[in-house]
Amino acid sequence: MNPADLNTVEGVYPLRPRLEHGPVVGGSEGVGRVAEVGPDVHGLCVGDLVVPVRPNLGTWGQELVALENEVHKVREGPLEGLALTSVCMATAFRLLEDFVELCPGDVVIQNAATSAVGQVSGARARAYPQLFHREMQRSDSANRL
């Protein structure tokens, strides 16, 4: 479970669920299989795997109704990994790609990277052969660096 979902339920996360249609089911991450499509849907078919692209879509429920532009079709794969693509993997990618331009010889240091975002960021950083990557698991690890 993504801590952001718990923060949303607690009312402390900046993105608030839409309440205009009554009670809200929590959940922003997940993967589902399309069970039905409406007559105006052209990019999805029954049986397609999809992930949410809008926060607070209600992925904690057994079923949900979504607009075509609120989900994204994905290829078949391990459901546990696909469920992380819309938030955790995207966040990890953006952490390494959007804030600074990484160059050969740069060092990526992770601290307390035990969350899904931290683990994916570490795996992505290790995939860059030109980068030097270190993970600090405990405070005494800093002394070894």
Which residues are identified as catalytic?
13
Order of strands, edge to edge, in the sheet holding 49-52?
32-33, 49-52, 71-74
* Burial readout 104-124 (b: 16 or more C-beta within 10 A, e: otherwise): eeeebebeebeebbbbbbbeb
Is residue 137 classed as helix, strand or coil in its secondary structure?
Answer: coil
| Distance separating alpha carbons of residues 81 and 97, to the nearest angstrom | 20
Pairing of strands 49-52, 32-33: antiparallel
Beta-strand runs (E) in 12-138: 32-33, 49-52, 71-74, 107-111, 132-136
Phi, psi of 78 (to 5 degrees): -60, 125
